[in-house]
Amino acid sequence: MDTVLNEAQALQERIRGWRRELHAFPEVGLETPRTEEYLCRQLDAMGAEYRRGVGGHGVAAVVRGELPGRCLMFRCDCDGLPIREESGESFSSQNENMHACGHDAHSAMGLGAVKLLLARRRELKGAVKVLFQPAEEIGAGARAMMADGCLEDPTPDAAFALHVSMGSGENRKAGSFHFIKGAALACMDKFEIDLTGKGSHGAIPELSCDPVVAAGRIVTGLQTIVSRNVCPMCPSVVSVCQFEAGETANVIPETARLVGTARTLWPQTRDLIERRLGEIARLTAESVGVRADVKYTRGAPPLLNDEKVLGAAQKTAAELFGDGEALFVSEPMLAGDDFAFYTEHVPGAMAFLVAPPPDGPAYNMHNCHFRIDDRWLWRGAALFAALAFDWLAKEGE
């Protein structure tokens, strides 16, 4: 354990370098060819085994130990967001996209883990698969890579992922790890409500069937799903994030459109939200003579951390860094992650590495000012590698 820790710490500057180089050219969605090429160059330099072009531009690296055993998988997402960066970092994005969710850091930690594991293949039982996955932000990358066989040759017996975090509540100690038992992240569902009424001059509203009025009532009505239909003990949210209607100040338009997201931790509440959202939209629209067409698209499911995988990761982190650096926290998050698609097939868990910026305010994810302290990323690589040795040794007994 001490050897892995020392070797990871010695890689600190290289891991930071990988992260900062990736940070300068973020790509979005499934179209990440430059990111793929960069990752492959680093893996080639290590002499690593990998398959590129998985599900488009994903990369699946494998470190096969010299001793027989099972397979542990790590997922490291690598896509950015269509956000113009305003962080002020010297290595800021050079295009109109931004790594505003830390995926550059996740990939850098994954590269570090591959290098650490390759150096000690003789001691490794079984194999470690490291997925560098695009399109997490749009919920498409995991399914694309699985459809292209990323869970084959070898087939993983368990999966683990790390996500950088600003911490929560009083638990904001930089470099610490947070572990959430059970339901950790919410589903990532999208809804679209298209309203069709009858337009009119703004001075003659009585001749209209106003879709703007219907849309406003629907926005308000949707808030009652969480406040009056969902159990207060089940964190959930329904957010309208786009409201599109009209083109001029004196014309009531014929159409309006609402788009948003629904999040919850429990499958049964997910069903309830989908049903009530459709009912409220259609009946509210009908009450003012407008038609509502509702489309509800289910994205990644809630992430339910596997108790055994999570416990093993927490134990390894505590042995590496001390009990106070590996904390079980009680607050699940209503953010989502398509890592949950893998855990429908493989027992898995996600943990969080707290890495707020060393100076200035700590902006959360998906913000143009998002920054992290990448001096702590070596700890993530260390946890990946040490967990691989620990878990594979135990599971191979």
Measured in degrees and rounded to the nearest 5, phi and psi for residue 36 equal -60, -45
Question: How far apart (Å, rounded) are the C-alpha atoms in residues 315 and 386?
Answer: 11
- Strand 125-133 with 177-180, pairing: unpaired
Question: How far apart (Å, rounded) are the C-alpha atoms in residues 62 and 127?
Answer: 7
Task: Check the annotation: does 369 bind a ligand.
Answer: no
Decide: 20 and 76 in contact? Cβ < 8 Å: no
Task: Check the annotation: does 137 bind a ligand.
Answer: yes
Specify the DSSP element, H or E, that contains 160.
strand 158-165
Kindly calculate the radius of gyration of the chain based on its CA atoms and give it in whole angstroms: 23
What is the number of other CB atoms lying within 10 angstroms of the CB of residue 201? 11
Task: Check the annotation: does 57 bind a ligand.
Answer: no
Task: Check the annotation: does 150 bind a ligand.
Answer: no
Question: How far apart (Å, rounded) are the C-alpha atoms in residues 192 and 259?
Answer: 5
First to last CA, the chain: 19
Question: How far apart (Å, rounded) are the C-alpha atoms in residues 173 and 264?
Answer: 28
Binding site for Mn(2+): what residues are annotated?
Answer: 101, 103, 137, 163, 366
Q: Which residues are annotated as a binding site?
A: 101, 103, 137, 163, 366
